[in-house]
A and B are shown apart, each in its own frame.
Chain A
Amino acid sequence: DTEVTQTPKHLVMGMTNKKSLKCEQHMGHRAMYWYKQKAKKPPELMFVYSYEKLSINESVPSRFSPECPNSSLLNLHLHALQPEDSALYLCASSLHSGGTNEKLFFGSGTQLSVL
């Protein structure tokens, strides 16, 4: 199994809603990532978890709250989002976060629209 699975694939939410994005991998990877990608722009790193501990937070607003319940699961909790937060949210994993040649495996993403 070389897949990173993200759910849901599409999400529409209002600015007062609370929702969660989910990501799962069963490759034994110990590093997991959240990226945000706007249309025709590159992915931008949001968070990195290494061995289930948050190791990088790229100054992301607190309305985005990551959680890593175990080494296979990564969640992104959303609350009071703004329309400008509409984007494709990509989850990725790698064996570790420390290796120089470790490639990231990406999920297909959740396309989020905030109304």
Chain B
Amino acid sequence: GQNIDQPTEMTATEGAIVQINCTYQTSGFNGLFWYQQHAGEAPTFLSYNVLDGLEEKGRFSSFLSRSKGYSYLLLKELQMKDSASYLCAVRVRSGYNQGGKLIFGQGTELSVKP
């Protein structure tokens, strides 16, 4: 089966740095995505990793270790508007001749306090 784990909730302080971890056990791994979702809104794309290492995009960075089945999302200089759910999603190859499908983890609810 496919399994993606991330913490349910995290709390951090405005201006601080927070790291949200994601571990996965999937067959046919074909890339890992991070999405942000505010309550009642659509998920929005944050970052993507398919090779090991760190990808940096402004205040957001994402890391991947395929051998460990592990990724993290690092958020720097936290702002109140960063309070949201952060979804780790793994693309897995399907049995079809297409690239596969995106499976989401449970999401981590991040609360940023003043």
Contacts and interface: CB of A to CB of B under 8 A. Distances in A.
A78 interface: no
A64 interface: no
Interface in B59-106: 87, 91, 94, 96-106
Contact of B103 (A45, A103, A105): A45
B31 to A, nearest CB: 5
A11 to B, nearest CB: 15
A42 B105 contact: yes
A23 to B, nearest CB: 11
B108 to A, nearest CB: 11
B99 A99 contact: yes
Interface residues of A, number: 27
A100 B30 contact: yes
Contacts of A108: 41-42
B27 interface: no
Contacts, number: 62
Contact of B87 (A42, A101, A107): A42
Interface in A39-97: 40-45, 48, 50, 55-56, 90, 96-97
A49 to B, nearest CB: 11
Interface string B24-45: 0000001101000000111111
Interface string B1-34: 0000000000000000000000000000011010
B50 interface: yes
Given A101-B50, A103-B33, A43 B99 contact: no
A101 B64 CA distance: 14
Contact of B45 (A4, A99, A105): A105
Nearest to A50: B98
Given A55-B96, A97-B99, A108-B42, 15 more contacts: A41-B106, A42-B104, A43-B43, A45-B101, A48-B98, A50-B98, A56-B94, A56-B98, A97-B98, A98-B98, A100-B91, A101-B48, A104-B43, A106-B44, A107-B42
10 contacts: A40-B107, A42-B106, A55-B94, A56-B94, A97-B99, A98-B98, A100-B91, A104-B43, A104-B102, A111-B40
